[in-house]
Amino acid sequence: MKNFTLKTMLVLFTSIFVLVAIVNSCKKEVNDQKENETVFTENDETITANIIAFKEKMEYYRDSPGLKSGELIPSDTAILELEALLNYHYCNTGIYINDAKIKSSQIIMPLDELLRISASELAELYYDEVIDRIQNQMSLVNFTNRKLVAVDIKMEEINSSGDAVITISSFIANIGTLSYETIEYGWWWGQLEGDCQHSPGTDGLMDATTILTYELNKYVINDPPPPGYKWRYVELAIEGPLVPTAYPNGNDDIEHDNHQDYLIYYATTNYTPHTQAVKCVSTDAEIGFNLEMEFYLTNYGVIGSNIAADHAGNEVSYLVEYFYTYFPPPNEEERLQHDLTIIVGKKYLVLVGDELTDLDIMLVD
């Protein structure tokens, strides 16, 4: 079976980047311009300026209670503006993530008959409901070093009153590196049962999903911004949890044996019993070290890159969680799977000096 390793994938990505850089360099030499891999562009400046202008508008109406605005904002524009401001002002990027959760809740956005909201009503909604919901979501996650990484705002429907039902989803992470040793026998599929030997120091603390989440997010931050700048994101979307059976492994040597049948980990007793070998995302000593872990790490990354490309954007973060399902008799089936969620968005550069407010600090004010 031919598998692309993570190293191979990174080499391919690097080769593509070098080719693009060479082409761009030739174009810039013709125009007598200095070649630069990543530069702060007029587009970055425009995005930031628009967000700051919206921020100042929201602050103006917050500080002027009772003042009614004549400005009416289409609901889809209002959602994009709120999401961009939240991710600019409150969300952390370029950080190591050793655990993460996604929390969601809904609010109602009041609209007129043309599906618009006034700027003053939007400011009230932003400060009184949106921020409050995100803070509440963060308070439900018991991490020692909790940070907000990304916020996705999505309109679900227009209700019977003509108002918008809005879902606010927050990607909340525990910040820090994950300390673990490279092992020969691999990691338990989930349930925080540690390595495949359930060794002290791993059992109850980590499993294949925590290792994969950490390594995937470490891959994302390996695209550093230029000195003096940091990445921010607009037009975010949370894709997932993805259905493993929608991603069959076209190169699988033996179908339905609960070993790499799909590009996302999935095992069912309808195929074979859930043996130690099935539950251990590990290696076959005759094939190579940590083959399964490398297989899933590579393919989760490729899936994320493809989804980001579909959004004409970039990967923001990854979340891998375990999910166990038991169907009682007469079916009596057990399913083990990884729930893979990918947050994507379009990135732009901002100066390091731009203000970032920590919503977690605000929680205790």
The torsion angles phi and psi of 93, rounded to 5 degrees, stand at -130, 165
Report helix, strand and coil shares of the chain as percent, to nearest 5: 35, 30, 35
Q: Which helix (H) or strand (E) holds 276?
A: helix 276-279
Instruction: Provide the residue ranges of all domains of the chain, joining segments of one domain with +.
Output: 1-37, 38-363
CA 316 distance to own-chain centroid: 5
Is the preceding omega at residue 110 within 30 degrees of 0, hence cis?
no
Partner residues linked to 158 by β-bridges: 164
Instruction: Look at residue 199 and give its three-state secondary structure.
Output: coil
Tell me the DSSP string of 83-125.
Answer: HHHHHHHT---S--EEEEEEEEEEEEE---TTSEEEHHHHHHH
| pLDDT tens over the chain, length 365 residues | 334 344 444 344 343 333 333 334 444 443 443 344 678 899 999 999 999 999 999 999 999 988 887 899 999 999 999 999 999 999 999 999 999 999 999 999 999 999 999 999 999 999 999 999 999 999 999 999 999 999 999 999 999 999 999 999 999 999 999 988 767 778 999 999 999 999 998 999 999 999 999 999 999 987 889 999 999 999 999 999 999 999 999 999 899 999 999 999 999 999 999 999 999 998 554 544 458 999 999 999 999 999 999 999 999 999 999 999 999 999 899 999 999 999 999 999 998 876 566 665 454 33
